Amino acid sequence: MEPLWKLAYLLEPAPVTLILTAIAVTFGSAFRALTYGKEMERNRDLSEASITLDRSQALMIPIMSSCSLLLMFYLFSSVSQLLTAFTAVASASSLYFCLSPYVAHVKSQFGLADPFISRCCSKSFTRIQGLLLLLCSGIVAAWLISGHWILNNLLGISLCIAFVSHVRLPNIKICAMLLACLFVYDIFWVFYSERFFGANVMVSVATQQASNPVHTVANSLSLPGLQLITKKLELPVKIVFPRNLLGVVVPGSTATDFMMLGLGDMAIPSMLLALVLCFDHRKNRDSVNPLDVPSSKGHKYIWYALSGYAVGLITALAAGILTHSPQPALLYLVPSTLGPIVIISWMRKELAELWEGTMPNLTDKTRLTEV
């Protein structure tokens, strides 16, 4: 156990930036999920409707995650180039999904002409959409060439936002089931996997670098500028910040030391935040008298969940500093986010409504309208 004064390291630029970024990403993911659902309701476009998990799907997530973790632990070097190529395509698509609302807003504000130029995969593309797709592809290409941590974070954040927008939870019951399973999953793979597999599987997979297929192709073709292309890549499955961020020298660290947080530690809590944010939105929308809705007077569930996330994340980082060992972040994030929501909703007599999800979601309402 390290002395308590070392908790002062949490006030350094790297951990502060990590905490603020994670909080912003979790809230941004939940907010984008809400706006995406409203877009689908407004456009009545069920072809792109999000997936709502049922009980069996929620139970399969930790099982499939464990299988994927073991697969990458044993066969990572064999599949790393294929994994990098798949990640590049998913990152470009996710980045396009995240940036398209802002581009559409700018287009409407300035009245820009945007004619259709082509049709691909049963969808028509406009000129601005084509340029945006080229921009996203260029950012991914820059990441493939440089492997810079800022680009890695940008792509990881976009993947997190896209995942939370397209994969949803119907109610707190399914959410609690998923979080409880992932709570056990995270603890096992971080604390106990070494006893069974000879190494910390979670940490090993999280810190492995993938082979860069761009470097492999350039090397085989003897292309110029080969030395500018990185051989290994950190996949955007986590956000990372150098410990010497802003030039601050941290005792015992080097220029290659990074603080990291897995995307799952943002995406999974964000699914809960998206659920309660949609609940807050529906209560405010369906309420005739605002005095009938306690959460409409500035005490919305989203703020309790977001505050709990911040507390849990800081606690996880503090535990990592004091124990000088990797920590399963969900060990702290699950109780700190789910706990306040359950307790407060029970006090407000809204737990049954949240637990069973009696209020129809946005896509369900669209489906009923069309019928």
| Residue 193 domain-assigned (yes or no) | no
| Residue 202 domain-assigned (yes or no) | no
CB contact at 8 A, 132 and 238: no
| Burial of residue 129 (number of CB atoms within 10 Å: 0-12, 13-18, 19+) | buried
Cα–chain-centroid distance for residue 60? 19
Beta bridge partners of 260: 240
Domain that holds residue 30: 4-65+75-187+212-363
Tell me how far apart the alpha carbons of residues 131 and 137 are, in angstroms, rounded to a whole number.
10
Strand 238-242 and strand 232-233: the pairing is: unpaired
How confident is the model over 163-188, as pLDDT tens digits?
A: 999 999 999 999 999 999 999 999 99
Alpha-helical segments (H) within the chain: 13-43, 55-110, 127-146, 149-166, 172-187, 193-197, 201-207, 213-221, 264-286, 301-323, 329-347, 351-356, 362-370
Cα–chain-centroid distance for residue 42? 25
**DSSP string of 40-54, one letter each residue:** HHHHT-GGGPPEEP-
| Residue 203 domain-assigned (yes or no) | no
Catalytic residues: 186, 265
| Residue 199 domain-assigned (yes or no) | no
Looking at the structure of the chain, the number of domains it has is 1
| Residue 369 domain-assigned (yes or no) | no
pTM: 0.87
| Residue 269 domain-assigned (yes or no) | yes
Tell me how far apart the alpha carbons of residues 10 and 229 are, in angstroms, rounded to a whole number.
34
Q: Residues in the chain with pLDDT < 70?
A: 44-49, 114-124, 247-256, 286-299, 358-371
| Residue 118 domain-assigned (yes or no) | yes
Of the candidates 239, 186, 230, the residue with the CA atom closest to the CA atom of residue 212: 230
